Amino acid sequence: MDTGAAGGLSIGVLADRTGLTPAVLRTWENRFGFPAGERSPTGHRRFSEADVELVRQVLEVRESGVGLQVAIDAVRRRHERGAVDSVHAVLSREFPHLVVHRLGRRALLAASHAVEDEALARADRPLVLGTFQEGHKFARSRHRWDELARTASWAAVVAEFDEAHPADPSAHPARCQLPERSPLRREWTVVTVSASRAAVVSAWEVPGAPGGTPVYESVISTHRPAALAAARVLVDVARASGATPPASATAVLDEPSHGPATAAVDADRMWLRALARLDPPG
């Protein structure tokens, strides 16, 4: 078999590696310019390991029922975004109009719980994602996230897990280990995205004196494109740690950025939940 060791993979090898036939791949290339590959000096099309992964991703997206063109476009967008592992950095860069506040833990916890509670109350099978900095911090919220995972289309948390609180990317919710130098180890995030609603709470802990009160630079929003951008970062990080989100859960992330906005009444309901937690009646 031609492995293409000297100049990339042949279309036959690409077909074998992805479970397709050379004829199907040639049809994709002729109609959609995908997979692109490169021409060798002899004029033959050659492909890389990256092309193998891109074709596999297209097949995964198609499992959600979308058409081939939509699946290819979604994978191309994902590939063009590249690897990013900071939610707050993405929001700051792509949505500079979002207001940034410095908040304490109590206010941030109220906003996070409001987003989670609304996801549970509406039961519309959202994608639910979070960052917890360290595994023991997730352990304190484990009971909430177990219930979120039970009713979500998929749920995952990323953190610095350890032997006492081990990572398990196949669990529910998926517990995904962060790389040692990941900026997400200092971030606090809760994201929910469903067909009709989206919300994000994103913050990073401002360096302070040892033993001092933590302060977080925070963005809290129901702006759907911002929530989608945050969710894409966390899903990519979860995948890199070994998690396998179902295509049905991630299909919503590949929608155009002008998708349906979160209704004002839904946004109001979430923030009223947060206020009630900050100032409970009676």
- What local confidence, expressed as pLDDT, does residue 239 receive? 84
Asked if the structure places residue 118 within a domain, the reply is: yes
Q: Are residues 258 and 213 in the same domain?
A: yes
- What local confidence, expressed as pLDDT, does residue 45 receive? 85
From 52, 81, 110, the end of a domain falls on 81
- What local confidence, expressed as pLDDT, does residue 115 receive? 96
Asked if the structure places residue 3 within a domain, the reply is: no
Asked if the structure places residue 6 within a domain, the reply is: no
Asked if the structure places residue 247 within a domain, the reply is: yes
- What local confidence, expressed as pLDDT, does residue 11 receive? 93
As beta bridge partners, residue 192 has: 128, 199
Q: Are residues 149 and 216 in the same domain?
A: yes
Q: Are residues 100 and 209 in the same domain?
A: yes
With 0-12 / 13-18 / 19 or more C-beta atoms within 10 angstroms meaning exposed / middle / buried, residue 196 is: middle
What CATH number is associated with residue 69?
1.10.1660.10
Q: State which residues of the chain have pLDDT below 70.
A: 1-7, 64-66, 78, 80-84, 255-259, 282
- What local confidence, expressed as pLDDT, does residue 250 receive? 77
- What local confidence, expressed as pLDDT, does residue 195 receive? 86
- What local confidence, expressed as pLDDT, does residue 203 receive? 96
Closest to 176 in 3D by CA, of 236, 229, 122: 236
Residue 189 lies in domain: 87-278
pTM listed for this prediction: 0.74
Domain count, the chain: 2
From 81, 103, 137, the end of a domain falls on 81
From 81, 110, 130, the end of a domain falls on 81
